[in-house]
Amino acid sequence: MILTFIIPCYNAEKIVSKNFNRLNSFIKKNRIKAKIIYINDGSTDFTLKELLKIRNKNVFIINNKKNLGKSKSIINTIKKIKTKNVILIDCDLPYLLYLKKVINSLKKNDLVLVNRKMKNSKKIGKNNNFYQISRHIISNYLGYLMEKKLNLNVNGDSQAGLKGFKLKNYVKRTKFISKYYFFDIELIKTFRNKSAKIEMIPVKYRISNKSNIKFFSFKNLIYIFEFIKVLSK
């Protein structure tokens, strides 16, 4: 089983090298045949410089000179991949402890998701600041709308930062419209429409205090418009 890891990055200069070492150690320890594709999506810091330090025959760098958006970057990359098994993971590796489970599950399923809303999932800590409380409220509401409109059956959680999927021909042929943050929804919908084999894995998780998304920003209107567009697709 050969895997291709897709890892989008934006202003991640402080964590890229450290987390590459963690992922690389996991790959070697478990004797996994893999290629890693890092996408530098128009970072304004030294993310690209740090990525170039770790580039080798199995680590590839895609550098977007301008910020295309996380979803658009992933979609463009998928079109270039030749391997059948893909792992999509955030650059801070939030669910590295569950990566082996995801890979094993992918051997018999078409799509594997870690899911924070399952019965056996557990949140560590409390929502104790404005960002965390706001994120919790917004996430639950968007999850409710998503389930009601699209019937994805993912308990309202499409955005957890670890997924594995088989790059079926129908996935490559799908005309994804998301540019920023909703590729995950479209991907799940694509597999659901094909009655594919999907497994969800419960996780322990902690809500981050940081994000590249600013709540009070004009771009939020763009994100909302895109979310509505995806729901209406």
pLDDT tens for 37-62 read 999 999 999 999 999 999 999 999 99
Residue 213 predicted with pLDDT over 60: no
According to the model, what pLDDT value does residue 130 have?
Answer: 58
Of 109, 85, 87, 86, the residue nearest 98 (C-alpha): 87
Confidence at residue 225, expressed as pLDDT on a 0 to 100 scale = 86
Could you tell me what percentage of the chain is helix, strand and coil, using 3-state DSSP and rounding each to the nearest 5? Answer: 40, 20, 40
> Is the pLDDT assigned to residue 20 strictly greater than 70?
yes
**Does residue 74 lie in a domain region?**
yes
Residue 26 lies in a domain: yes
Residue 201: inside a domain: yes
Confidence category of residue 210, pLDDT binned at 50, 70, 90: low
* Structural domain boundaries, residue 53: 2-125+159-207
- Lowest-pLDDT range, 153-162, 175-184, 188-197, 208-217? 208-217
Q: How confident is the model at residue 197 (pLDDT cuts 50, 70, 90)?
A: very high
Q: Which is nearest to 167 in space by CA: 91, 227, 54, 85?
A: 85
The number of folded domains in the chain is 1
> Is 215 a domain residue?
no
Say what the pLDDT of residue 67 is.
95
| 123/135 Cα distance (integer angstroms) | 14
Q: Is 225 a member of any domain?
A: no
What is the per-residue pLDDT for 216?
A: 52
- What is the phi/psi pair of residue 62, to 5°? -105, 125
Q: Are residues 44 and 68 in contact, defined by beta-carbon separation less than 8 angstroms?
A: no
State the average pLDDT over residues 159-183: 94
Which backbone phi and psi does 75 adopt, to 5 degrees? -60, -45
The pLDDT of residue 88? 98
Mean pLDDT of the chain: 89
Asked which of 18-32, 95-109, 119-133, 150-164 is least confident by mean pLDDT, the reply is 119-133
Helix (H, G, I), strand (E, B) or coil at 10: coil
What CATH number should be reported for the domain holding residue 171?
Answer: 3.90.550.10
Residue 73 lies in a domain: yes
* Domain assignment present for 133: no
